[in-house]
């Protein structure tokens, strides 16, 4: 059973449901990071990415901006 289906089911096991939800969030956050970095690599601005994610430009830049995520110069 996938984390998504486990989190979506209402079988009464709140512990399993919450554990599945935590895993789903972890996977979603990891996927978001990959896609944001790919978008930046393809030239999208922070403002464009923010619109696509439904957050403010400041929020997306705070979460993904800076040297931790953006390499400057050759890798």
pTM for this structure?
A: 0.72
Note the maximum CA span of the chain: 52
CA distances from 23 to 7, 11, 39 (A): 9, 18, 24
- In the chain, % helix, strand, coil (3-state, to 5) comes to 65, 0, 35
Structure tokens at 72: 């400057």
Render pLDDT for 34-67 as a digit per residue (tens, 0 to 9): 999 999 999 999 999 999 999 999 999 999 987 6
Query: At 6, is the pLDDT very low, low, confident or very high (cuts 50, 70, 90)?
Result: low
Q: For the residues 23-31, what does the mean pLDDT come to?
A: 97
Would the pLDDT of 5 be above 70?
no
């Amino acid at each position: 059973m996938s984390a998504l289906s486990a989190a979506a089911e209402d079988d009464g096991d709140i512990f399993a449901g919450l554990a599945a939800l935590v895993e789903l969030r972890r996977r979603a956050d990891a996927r978001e990071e990959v896609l944001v970095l790919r978008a930046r690599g393809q030239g999208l601005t922070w403002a464009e990415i923010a619109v696509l994610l439904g957050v403010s430009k400041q929020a997306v830049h705070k979460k993904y901006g800076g040297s931790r995520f953006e390499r400057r110069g050759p890798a």
